Amino acid sequence: MARKTEAPPPTLPRERAPRGTPLYVHLPFCAAKCHYCDFFSVAAEGHDRRPMVDAILAEAELWAPTAPRTVFVGGGTPSLLDEAELRALFDGLEQRTGFRGSAREVTVECNPESLDEAKAAVLLELGATRLSIGFQALDDAALKLFGRVHDAAQSFAAYRAARAAGAREVNVDLIYAWPGQDLEAWKTDLGRVLDLGPNHVSAYNLTFEEDTAFRRWLDDGTLPKAPEELELAFFEATRRQFAERGYGAYEISNFSLSGQVAHHNINYWHNGPYLGIGPSAVSKVGSVRGGNVKSVGDYLRRIAERGDARVWEEAPEALDRLRETWWLGLRLAEGLSAAEARQRAGYDLPTDPLEPIAERLCAEGLLTRHGPRFALSETGLPLGDWVARKFLDG
């Protein structure tokens, strides 16, 4: 079983992440809290943002890798920062990591209400290579239901602003199968997004996560969930439409033009190492996983006191790492082989005790096998998470 400690202070030895480790930076402020969102974030009003930038840089000073292969600045809503705050953040990260010379991809999450051409130009000048814009829906009533503070017109304006500023890679985030959504209307909306020509689209079936307003409303009966058959129809129509428009479905919910995949996220699905800084950020370095405190005040205090905001950590044993590697890797269209799973998990034995699960799922038609690689089949894809979880439970 995993060895888990609920610090403070954590007890496992900690060192700076090795050179090249992918870097995640979590900015916890948003214009308002969306009703479906379970990421750690707080409404920005009433918070002074500059101390957060300084604390993130102080954490980076001690723990961030030099020369990260990829950088992802997320949250939260990083585009909420003003130009001076963004300059302090990115220049500070550059001084501490040298990411501008090393990272093949630097993604910044942006929301429509805080992305105009000037902001996009600043982000690109500071080293961003990829802007990810949260459209979520094109229906203004749905955006209100979601608790979003922008309308669809602002989403299109933000997209045009990113391109006008020179962004070569733009991702659009979308959510489908929300309560009351009409399938034909979704196809039309998805078509309008694809007409823009984004390099990459993340399109997720709505989920009702714990500790969200949506989950409370689902539980008390005020918000219905789409029936499973309808969710399946949305899933299949979505995949069909992306394929017709030339987008590769390289992950269950992620689509890209001609191989323009999100490298930072592929590393997660490969169960690779990463270093997260900022409140709530999770890291996985070597065989140790740990996470920072989910509180703005506590984060600032802990960083000021000892440069570390980690409050939990665990060291999963080799078999648990192998289980997770299968679970994550099967989300990708490329799938994985038993040898790759062992290598990514750092599992030293010559045979994979989980391969029989993969073979059984093949026999049931939920996975396919090409040579040594297993991947979700057409039947298994809509059940992808359920199928992959067999490796966690089996």
Binding site for ligand SF4 (CB under 6 A): 30, 33-34, 37, 39, 41, 75-77, 111, 134
Q: Which is nearer to ligand SF4, 271 or 280 (CB)?
A: 280
Q: Which is nearer to ligand SF4, 134 or 273 (CB)?
A: 134
Distance CA 146, CA 140 (A): 10
CB 75, min distance to ligand SF4, A: 5
Q: Please give the single-letter amino acid code of residue 135.
A: F
Q: Which is nearer to ligand SF4, 134 or 329 (CB)?
A: 134
CB 38, min distance to ligand SF4, A: 8
Q: Which is nearer to ligand SF4, 134 or 290 (CB)?
A: 134
Q: Which is nearer to ligand SF4, 77 or 325 (CB)?
A: 77
CB 159, min distance to ligand SF4, A: 16
Distance CA 320, CA 367 (A): 21
CB 76, min distance to ligand SF4, A: 5
CB 366, min distance to ligand SF4, A: 31
Pairing of strands 282-285, 336-337: unpaired
Break the chain down into helix, strand, coil percent, rounded to 5.
Answer: 40, 20, 35
Q: Are 90 and 130 in contact (CB under 8 A)?
A: no
Q: Which is nearer to ligand SF4, 96 or 150 (CB)?
A: 150
SS3 104: coil
Chain mean position to CA 97: 22
CB 58, min distance to ligand SF4, A: 23
Strand order in the sheet with 130-136: 247-251, 254-257, 200-205, 169-176, 130-136, 105-110, 70-75, 23-27, 275-277
Q: Are 176 and 206 in contact (CB under 8 A)?
A: yes
Strand order in the sheet with 310-315: 3-6, 310-315, 288-292, 282-285
Nearest to 139 by CA among 194, 196, 195, 178: 178
CB 280, min distance to ligand SF4, A: 11
Q: Which is nearer to ligand SF4, 66 or 295 (CB)?
A: 295
